[in-house]
């Protein structure tokens, strides 16, 4: 048995923690499956006015995990189907919320908690890459959701600006705005998941340990 920690948060755990690692992997898989199932159920009901063939077709697409891509494309191009129980932006928001709440946030918290439970010298590069990729993924989802919703709205208005700052025209100006929003979301998301991870460490999450 050995004691490791990051800062003052020391934990006793068994050096052979393959079981704990497998538990984290199983939890991540379960969360990913839950996200897809929620999206599939939402898609089935949202397309309730369509024929059964179309409903099952869109539900199958959702089960493949492609629903956010399909809905996002329709929103970004301003070609939302009007004959739905929910509008295109509402459907898009639902998909992105599912991805953030049940996939990106739990995955990031689990990976960061793994770092906090490890000795600094034992932290591997792949762990750091995993945390960074989770944060970047969450920031991309949030940025795509924000701009997708705004684009869907201003495609229907003659105004050159939406919310006073989103450029309707393409080019460098819009790219700069998207990049700025991505940086903001990355900072916001990383602060949030780190805070939640520290909260879990202090008030409930325990490192795996074994008897001598």
Cα gap 139→191, rounded to integer Å: 12
Task: Tell me which range, 35-44, 192-201, 202-211, is most confidently predicted by mean pLDDT.
Answer: 192-201
Does the structure show a pLDDT above 70 at 118? Answer: yes
Query: Distance between the two ends of the chain, CA-based, in angstroms?
Result: 7
Q: Which of 8-12, 76-80, 129-133 has the lowest mean pLDDT?
A: 8-12
Distance CA(151)–CA(75), nearest Å, equals: 7
The Cα 56–Cα 93 span in angstroms is 21
Helix ranges (DSSP H) in the chain? 18-46, 52-63, 67-76, 88-99, 105-116, 125-154, 172-203
Dihedral sign, CA of 159, 161, 166, 168? positive
pLDDT of residue 77: 65
Residue 172's pLDDT band (cuts 50, 70, 90): confident
Measured between alpha carbons, how far is 35 from 197 in angstroms, rounded to an integer? 21
Answer yes or no: is pLDDT of 68 > 80: no
Cα–Cα–Cα angle for 65, 66, 67, rounded to 5 degrees: 100
16 burial class (0-12, 13-18, 19+ CB within 10 angstroms)? exposed
pLDDT for 25? 56
pLDDT band for 72, please (50, 70, 90 cuts). Answer: low
Q: Per-residue pLDDT for 189 more than 80? A: yes
The confidence score (pLDDT) of residue 47 equals: 80
**pLDDT at residue 153, as a whole number:** 61
Q: pTM (2 decimals)?
A: 0.55
DSSP string spanning 64-126?
Answer: TT-HHHHHHHHHHTT---SSSSS-HHHHHHHHHHHHIIIIIHHHHHHHHHHHHTS-GGG--HH
Q: Which residues pair with 166 in a beta bridge?
A: 162
**Which residues, other chains included, contact 17 with Cβ-Cβ below 8 Å and sequence gap of 6+?**
208
pLDDT of 90 > 50? The answer is yes
Instruction: Tell whether the model's pLDDT for residue 80 goes beyond 70.
Output: no
Tell me the β-bridge partners of 6. 9
**CA atoms of 116 and 199, how far apart (whole Å):** 11
* CB-based burial, 190-200: b 16+ in 10 Å, e otherwise: beebbebbbeb
Per mean pLDDT, which of 5-14, 100-109, 162-171, 184-193 is the most reliable? 184-193
Q: Output the pLDDT for position 166.
A: 64
pLDDT value of residue 12: 45
């Amino acid at each position: 048995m050995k004691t490791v920690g990051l800062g003052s948060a020391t934990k006793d755990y068994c050096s052979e923690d393959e079981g704990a690692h497998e538990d984290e992997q199983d939890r991540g898989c379960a969360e990913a499956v839950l996200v897809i199932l929620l999206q599939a159920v939402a898609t089935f009901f949202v397309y309730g006015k369509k024929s059964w063939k179309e409903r099952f077709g869109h539900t199958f697409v959702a089960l493949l995990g492609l629903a956010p891509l399909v809905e996002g494309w329709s929103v970004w191009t301003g070609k939302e189907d009007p004959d739905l129980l929910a509008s295109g932006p509402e459907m898009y928001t639902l998909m992105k919320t599912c991805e953030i709440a049940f996939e990106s946030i739990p995955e990031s918290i689990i990976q960061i908690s793994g770092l906090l439970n490890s000795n600094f010298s034992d932290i591997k590069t792949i762990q750091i890459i995993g945390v960074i990729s989770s944060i970047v993924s969450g920031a991309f989802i949030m940025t795509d959701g924000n701009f997708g919703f705004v684009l869907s709205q201003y495609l229907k208005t003659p105004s050159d600006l939406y919310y006073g700052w989103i450029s309707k025209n393409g080019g460098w100006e819009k790219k700069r705005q998207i990049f700025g929003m991505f940086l903001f979301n990355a900072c916001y998301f990383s602060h949030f998941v780190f805070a939640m991870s520290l909260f879990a460490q202090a008030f409930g999450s325990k490192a795996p340990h074994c008897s001598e």
